[in-house]
Amino acid sequence: MESAKLWVQVNCNVERLRHVAESAGMERLLTVKPVPYVLLALAAVSLLVKFIQGKQKRSRTWLKSRSRSPDPEKPTDVTTFAEKRMKATDRTPGIWTPLDFKRPAASPYPDWSVTDTRPLPYRPFRHGPYHITMGLRSMHWDEWIELDNHYMRYHEDKKRRIEARGSKCCLTNPDPRVWDGAVELLEELSAYLSERYPSMFRKTDVGVHNVLTNESFDVTKLTMNGVKEDPMQLCARLTQDDLAVMFEKEDGQYYLLAGAVLLAGFWRLEDKYGMPLSEIHTSADVPGYKQKLEKGMMNFFRRVKPDGPVVRNNYFMQVDDELAWSSSIGSEDAQDGIGWFTAEKDLAIKHHHFRSERQSLRRLPRSGGVVFTIRTYFHPVTEIAEEPYVPGRLASAVRNWGEDVSKYKGRERYGDVLLEYLDKKHEEQVANGLDLSKEEGIKAYPY
């Protein structure tokens, strides 16, 4: 019986080999009768197939390069992240020696299109307890700046706000080190965008040209189409992100000294400009900052190296459809009285929007400035609630906010309407056959 099985196995393999060999012009190999040689040939073909498959897999690594977050049941705090992944430094506070580091060249975004490439579906919320952490993940260099088919909307919104608000939104401290850091960021963006999105950005001898908007940026003269501008304002015109650059002073604190904050929704650059990192967060009553984040963030900022970029995500709810400034919390020009307490309570679900931020953080090697990029994704709740598993997971996340987080995110003003709607959409999905047991295997955080 065993001999028969072996005969069938070998002859079936020979038949498969015959088809492969005939198609490749290797019929003579089949005249070799001893089984060992046949098996050797099979092994060679198998290795060839694996090599081709491996090459194809390597060509698609950009699809799998996105770093994943820690286990949601074991949240990694910022202190642990810094201590495990970043070396300690004995550098004198406020002193930075330029480093000879060059960012790896970015790969062109495969098949990127300003009309067809949709925003990435970040859904950074989970079932169960809400943990107050930075949620840092290592960042692949190809992922530094993300552009999509909402580019022109963001570009026009920024252009309008630059004209209307100017230095209230884009400002660089004249200190030489800070100014050089803003110019360094402009240089980095010009180089990166021409590598990552070559169909829209063309590298020039003096900077970069945006083919879509017909805007030419001269980094050497700090001009756009011949008009001189603040370097951070020039940076703002290139991306969909808001930008902030922190610099260390002699007291060891990092200060916000350069920024282009045009689409932040809930905060104004003029309020935070010049503040140290800790005051920026405490003035905004960020939940758990003093108890759980401050020490770790200070440690992280001091240790972060130019070759160690990181990324994180967060999310908010908003009860109006204004990307640049959420008027539901008050006028952008109000001196005081801004907050969720001004928002109308229990607005219909059509007014509810999901606002998600993807923030990257990296150090500039020449100036030592630490750059935040803040990319906002903005969608109606009724839109994302059509996605499988999203309404149930979002409802669970909102219900698990602690009292301080709920106050910070304004749940009291919209929570009842939002949760009723999400529960209904979740029940509909389950009734239509949604398999809840498969949810964990569908997508990894933050998607």
Q: What is the pLDDT of residues 166-218, one digit of tens each?
A: 999 999 999 999 999 999 999 999 999 999 999 999 999 999 999 999 999 99
pLDDT of residue 7: 43
pLDDT at 77: 54
Q: Is 27 exposed, middle or buried (0-12, 13-18, 19+ CB in 10 A)?
A: exposed
Q: What is the pLDDT of residue 27?
A: 45
Give the pLDDT confidence score for residue 37 in this predicted structure. 56
Q: Supply 19's token pair.
A: 């088809």
What is the share, in percent, of the chain residues with pLDDT greater than 90? 70
Residue 103: its pLDDT value, please?
97
The predicted-structure confidence for 54-91, as pLDDT tens digits, reads as follows 544 443 333 333 433 333 334 455 555 555 555 566 78
Average pLDDT, the chain: 86
Average pLDDT over residues 6-20: 44
Q: Rg of the chain's alpha carbons, rounded to an integer? A: 27
Helices H / strands E in the chain, number of each? 14, 12
Tokens 């990319």 found at: 375
Give the residue, 53 or 438, on which the prediction is more confident.
438
pLDDT of residue 288: 86
pLDDT band for 15, please (50, 70, 90 cuts).
very low
d(CA 300, CA 25): 61
Cα separations (Å) of 337 from 318, 328, 341, 344?
A: 18, 12, 9, 14
When pLDDT is cut at 50, 70 and 90, the band that residue 131 belongs to is confident
Residues 311 and 362: beta-carbon distance below 8 Å:
no
- Write out the two tokens for 261: 């904050």
What is the pLDDT confidence band of residue 413, given thresholds at 50, 70 and 90?
Answer: very high
**The predicted structure's pLDDT at residue 346:** 97
Kindly report, residue by residue over 253-278, the tens digit of the pLDDT.
999 999 999 999 999 999 999 999 99
pLDDT by residue (tens digit) across 93-103?
Answer: 999 999 999 99
Q: Which residue has the higher pLDDT, 43 or 76?
A: 43
What is the SS3 assignment for 157-178? HHHHHHHHHHHHCEEECCCHHH
Q: How far from each other are the two terminal CA atoms of the chain, in whole angstroms?
A: 53
Q: How confident is the model at residue 32 (pLDDT cuts 50, 70, 90)?
A: very low
Predicted local confidence at residue 48, as pLDDT = 58
- What percent of the chain has pLDDT above 70? 80
CA atoms within 13 A on the CB side of 282: 9
Residue 11 pLDDT > 50, yes or no?
A: no
What average pLDDT does range 297-306 have in this prediction? 91
pLDDT of residue 411: 97
pLDDT digits (tens, 9 = 90+) for 220-249: 999 999 999 999 999 999 999 999 999 999
How far apart CA 238 and CA 210 sit, in angstroms, is 8
pTM: 0.81
The values of phi and psi at residue 244, to 5°, are -145, 140
Q: Can you give the length of the chain in residues?
A: 447
Question: According to DSSP H, which parts of 145-289 are helical?
Answer: 151-165, 176-196, 231-238, 269-272, 277-283
Instruction: Please tell me which of 285-289, 296-300, 339-343 the model is most confident about, judged by mean pLDDT.
Output: 339-343
Tell me what pLDDT residue 6 has.
Answer: 43
Q: Minimal CA–CA distance to 302: which of 275, 277, 273?
A: 277
In this predicted structure, the answer to whether residue 123 has a pLDDT above a threshold of 50 is yes
For residues 114-126, give the mean pLDDT. 96
Is the model's pLDDT at 445 over the cut of 90? no
pLDDT at position 404 is: 93
pLDDT of 331 strictly over 80: yes
User: Has residue 49 got a pLDDT over 60?
Assistant: no
